[in-house]
Structure 1
Amino acid sequence: MTRPDKLFRSLLDNPSQIIAYRDFVRLIENYGWQHIRTKGSHRSYAHDDCPELLVIQPRGSDAKPYQVKLFLAYVEEYGLQSRR
């Protein structure tokens, strides 16, 4: 497992890289997203400063690349900051 801040910087350099799903969950929670619902393998997250829901699910043990890119877009668009 990697530290969320290090992982975030790495994703900014290469948003298409494959990351572990558990590391992705830790990263989004570090940015203030709160888990609000699970339905099957889909986990829904909400953020106080973002009107959009972030819905994620694993592909095997990895995060889906398009969901990682969506998270990065939300961080940039809404100016979200790491909570740590």
Structure 2
Amino acid sequence: MSKAEKLAAKILSGRSDRNFDFDDLCYILKRAGFQSRARGGSHRIYYKDGVVEIINIQPRNGNAKPYQVKQVRELLLKYKIEIE
């Protein structure tokens, strides 16, 4: 199982929202075809053609914020986005 597959399973399970590494969340978004818009500071904004919502994330002590992990999961499921 590849790193992307393991992380996809972890995010889709919904059991690790509080303990999801920020860099891993960024990796998942990139593998799902999202593009990053440059932004100052720790904020990162991701967007994808065909997805109305944008994703604005920032780390807290190296981890992604739980509500942001949930937002990413909901978008992946809503738009049936595959992690490649």
Q: TM-score, normalised to structure 2's length?
A: 0.86
Q: Do residues 16 (structure 1) and 22 (structure 2) align?
A: no
Q: TM-score, normalised to structure 1's length?
A: 0.86
* Deviation, structure 1 residue 40: 2.2
Runs (4 or more) in structure 1 with deviation over 3 Å come to none
CA RMSD, Structure 1 to Structure 2 (Å): 1.6
Which of the pair is proportionally richer in strand? 1
Equivalent residue number for residue 5 of structure 1:
5
The one-character-per-residue Cα deviations of 1:27-75 (angstroms, maximum 9, x if unpaired) are: 1110011001313221111011201100000001111111010001001
Equivalent residue number for residue 51 of structure 1:
52
Q: Secondary structure at the match of 1:49?
A: coil
Q: Which runs of 5+ in 1 are unaligned?
A: none
Equivalent residue number for residue 64 of structure 1:
65
Structure 1 stretch displaced more, 17-26 or 49-58: 17-26
Identity of matched residues, %: 30
Structure 1 stretch displaced more, 48-57 or 36-45: 36-45
